[in-house]
Amino acid sequence: MAVRITNRTLKSFLASKKLSRALSSKVTFNWEDPFDLDSQLAQDEIIIRNSFRAYCQEKLQPRILLANRNETFDPNVMLEFGEQGVLGCTLKGYGCANVSSVAYGLLTREVEKVDSSYRSAMSVQSSLVMGAIYSYGSEEQKEKYLPRLAKGEILGCFGLTEPNYGSDIGAMETKAKYDASSKSYILNGSKTWITNSPIADICIVWAKCEDSKIRGFIVDKSISKKGLETPKIEGKLSLRASVTGMILMDNVEVPEANLLPKASGLSGPFACLNNARYGIAWGALGAAETCLSIARQYTLERKQFGKPLAANQLIQKKLADMVTEITLGLQACLRVGRLKDENRICPEMLSILKRNNTGKALEIARNARDMLGGNGIHDEYHVIRHMINLETVNTYEGTHDIHALVLGRAIT
C-alpha cells in the first residue's frame, strides 16, 4: 500500500526535527559511529584499536589487491601480527598480551576492514589453535607451543570439518587408535576446508577415539611426518589471500604426549569455535563498514542524469539500511564482549551474534557491489572482494541456517 507524504505530515516532521535539534543541540549525527561506540571503550582499548588500525591501513591494505588477485598468502603477515602482539591476545601468560575480549573484537574488525582472509588466519591462530592448547593442553604443551604461536613463528591449523561431515560433526569419520607399543595414537581420516593447513607447522586434529569420544591431538609436522599430507585446495574463489587445504592422515603416528588431555567430546572444539565466532561477528562488520564507506563515496561522486547517484532515494534507503545494521550489530558485539569478560555468556548468544552480523554484512556487501555498477565487479574497487569473502564468512563456523536451528531449539 503506497503512503503519500502530505504537506501536513512533512510540516510536523520538520517541526519535530527542530525540537530534537533543540533538545540535543551539541550532538550531531556521525554516520561512521552513530551511537558513539568510542565512548563505550576503555582508554587502552582505544589505543590498541588505533595502533592496529594504523598498521592495517598502512601496511596490510597496500598488499591485499595483488594478494587476492594472485591468490598468494604472505607468511610474513603472521610474523607481523606476532610482532604487534595480536595473536592469542586475550590469553594470559606465554607471551600473550591479555587484553579484553572487546579489544580482540576491535582488532578483528580492523583487520577485516582490509580483508577477511587475514582475519581468518588471525582467528584460526588465536581462537582455534592457541585457544585449544591454552584451554585443553598440558603445561608442557603450552610452554612448548604457545610462545612461538604468539610470535607467529609457527603456524597452526584446526582440523575439525570433514569432506562428509560439516554441520553434523558428531558423526565424524576420523579415527584415533591407541598403540601401546609405540605409546602413540594412530590417526586415520581426512579433514577439509582447513585454513592454513598446507603451510601450518602444527594441526589441532579432532578424532574419534576407541571409546567413541572425540579428542584433540597436536599433530606436529616435524614429529609426525609419515602418512600426513596437507594439500592445498585449488580453485577457491573466496578468501583467496588465505591458504586453505585438507589434512589427509594415513596411519599418522602422534605421540601420546600430544593428546590434549583436558578435552573430551564435542564441547572441546565447540568452545574454541565460539571464541572464533565472537571475533568473526566483529570482523564481518568491519568488512561491511568498508563496503559502506566505498559505496557512499562512490555514489556521492558519480553523477548520472545531472546529479550524484547518492541523491536518489533508492540509494539513500540502501545506505540507511547499511548504517542501521552496522550500528546495531556493533552494539551487540560490545554487549557480548563485556559479558564474555564477566564469564556470563552461553553459546546461543554467539549464535545470535555470528548469524546476524555475518548475514547482514553479506547483504550490505551485495548491495554495495550493486551500487557501484560496472565498477563494482573490479577488484580495484574492493567491494566485490569483500562480497565474495563474506560468502565464506557467512558459511563457516556454523552456517546461517544451522545457527538458526540452534536458536530455534533453545527457544522452544
Partner 1 sequence: MARVLVGVKRVIDYAVKIRVKPDKTGVVTDGVKHSMNPFDEIAVEEAVRMKEKKIASEIIAVSCGPTQSQEVLRTALAMGVDKGIHVEISGKDYDTLQPIHVSKILAKIAEKEKADFIIVGKQAIDDDSNQTAQMTAAILDWPQATFASKIEKGDKDITVTREVDGGLETIKCKIPAVISADLRLNEPRYATLPNIMKAKKKPIAKMTPKDLGVDVAPRIKVVSVEDPPVRQAGVILPDVDALVGKLKEGGFA
Site for partner 1, rule CB under 8 A? 26, 28, 30, 43-44, 46-48, 50-52, 54-55, 83-86, 89, 95, 97-99, 103
What are 188's strand-pairing partners? 175
Shortest Å distance, C-beta 150 to partner 1: 9
Whichever of 99 and 121 has its CB closer to partner 1, that residue is: 99
Shortest Å distance, C-beta 48 to partner 1: 5
What are 255's strand-pairing partners? 184
Whichever of 99 and 243 has its CB closer to partner 1, that residue is: 99
Shortest Å distance, C-beta 122 to partner 1: 12
Q: Count CA atoms within 13 Å of residue 61 on its CB side.
A: 15
The answer to whether 326 and 290 are in contact (CB under 8 A) is no
The answer to whether 86 and 118 are in contact (CB under 8 A) is no
- Which three three-digit cell numbers place residue 151? 610470535
Whichever of 88 and 269 has its CB closer to partner 1, that residue is: 88
Whichever of 55 and 193 has its CB closer to partner 1, that residue is: 55
Pairing of strands 184-195, 92-93: unpaired
Shortest Å distance, C-beta 217 to partner 1: 30
Does the active-site annotation cover 256?
A: no
Shortest Å distance, C-beta 57 to partner 1: 10
User: What φ, ψ does residue 256 adopt, rounded to 5°?
Assistant: -60, -20
DSSP notation for 56-100: IIIIIHHHHHHHHHTT---THHHHHHHHHT-TTTTSEETTEE---
AA letter at 206: W
What are 202's strand-pairing partners? 156, 220
User: What φ, ψ does residue 283 adopt, rounded to 5°?
Assistant: -60, -45
Active-site residue list: 397
